[in-house]
Structures are given as structure tokens and as C-alpha cells.
Amino acid sequence: MQQLFDEFEERKEEIDCYFKFLRKITSQTYALKNTRSNKDICLDSRIQKILKANTFLLLYNLVESTVKNSIRFICQAIVKENIQYNNIVEGLQKQWVKVHTRQRLQSPNDEKLRDGVKFIIDKTLNEFIQFEGDYEIKYRDNIDTEVMFAIARDFGFKLNFAKSLKGGYRIGEIKDKRNFLAHGNITFSNCGQNLSMEDLTAYKNDTYGVLKKFLSVVKTYLEKKKYINS
């Protein structure tokens, strides 16, 4: 679990360094020195807009890596426990069925379907839970607070955010802006043109707040082994 917190802090430091740079170049006429020609390279308003928009890529990277790494840590803990189907919480039982259905029940052939059902029943009765490799739990690639709440529901922990975070709605905006940029639906300069440093700081602080809460809940969940059906 400490590795998860360390990775989170490392990515946070990258973002904080980037924000220091952004504040410097947006607070004054700023130029970088070309060491070869000894001439200034002016960071004009268009470049500043592009650099501001790039903030959403950094923030979304933090969101996706933190959430997906948390799922991986929980699944690793479950596997290490050597527990069976009837000993995990109901949400994880449903995920287990979903994983094996994806693996075994996709054929229209009746015989293969029967074999697939038998395979799942045998694994349910006789084997320990596996959420690794081909049996990894999967959520949609675009992570936002809706996905976080789905994870909480499935894994069996309670997740809520402080009123100041307004349900973490800015995470959804970050996801959308990142997708618009990644898929070419908007230019970086257009995305960043109306953004102030105060706006970007609000996005950053809300992202940190949501993810810190998420990690805190996951930490308690793992320490108390809440994945085990009491």
C-alpha cells in the first residue's frame, strides 16, 4: 500500500512543478534562453494557452493511475488471502461471475456453454478467488467519480467527498477535456484560452482532494480486510 501512496506523491510533485512553471510564465513577459544562439525564445500567449491545456493531461494521468493502481492492490490482497467465492462480499462475487462469464460464456454453441457453466461452478466450489491476468476486474477506461463510486459499490466500501469538492464533479470535466484533446476534438490553444491560473488551481486542488479521500478509504478497506464477507 505504501507503494501506492509513493506513486501518488511522485505524480503530484510533477504536477506541482509544472504549476510553478506555469505561474512564472503567465505572470510576466517570459522568455527562455537558447543556450546555443544566446537568443531569447519568447513564450507568447498561444504557447501559454497550449501549456495550460496540457494541465488536463497531467491531472487525468494522476486520476487514472491512482484508481487503477488501487484496484490492482486490492485484487492482489484478495488473491494473497486464498479465499473462496462464498467468503468475499457480494459485489466482488458479482465481479467474479462477470469475469468468468466474459471468459467462458461467449459461444453460441450449446455444448460449449454447458462446459463453460460447469467450469465456473467447479471454480466456485473448489478454487480460491483469482482476479489476475485474464481474470482481472475491468472498468471502463475513462475514469471519473462515477467509476470510483462503482468501484466502491462492487468492492464493498463507502465513498463520499467533502462538500467543498461538490461530489468531485471537476474530475468529470478533466476526463472530458483530456478526451477532447487526445482525440483531436479541440486544439490545445482553444482549450486553454479562457483558463486562468485560479481555474487550473481549482482543478488541481479538487483532484488532489478526491484522490486523497479515495486512497484513504482504500487503505482502511485493506487494513480491515473489508473484502471478506462477514
Domain assignments of the chain as residue spans, ordered by start: 2-78+141-223
Are the CB atoms for 46 and 100 separated by under 8 Å? no
Cell of 189: 490553444
pLDDT of the chain along its 230 residues, tens only?
A: 788 999 999 999 999 999 999 998 887 655 555 445 445 556 778 889 999 999 999 999 999 999 999 999 999 999 899 999 889 999 999 888 888 877 766 665 667 777 777 777 877 877 788 887 777 888 888 999 999 999 999 999 999 998 889 889 999 999 999 999 999 999 999 999 999 999 999 999 999 999 999 999 999 999 999 999 87
What is the per-residue burial (b if ≥16 Cβ within 10 Å, else e) of 115-153?
A: ebeeebeebbeeeebbbeeebebebeeebbbbbbeebbe
Give phi and psi for 88, each to the nearest 5: -105, 160
pTM: 0.85
Concatenated DSSP letters for 40-101?
EEE--HHHHHHHHHHHHHHHHHHHHHHHHHHHHHHHHHHHHHT--GGGB-HHHHHHHHHHHH
Residue entry with cell 490492482: 72
Concatenated DSSP letters for 162-184?
-GGGGGGHHHHHHHHHHHHHHTT
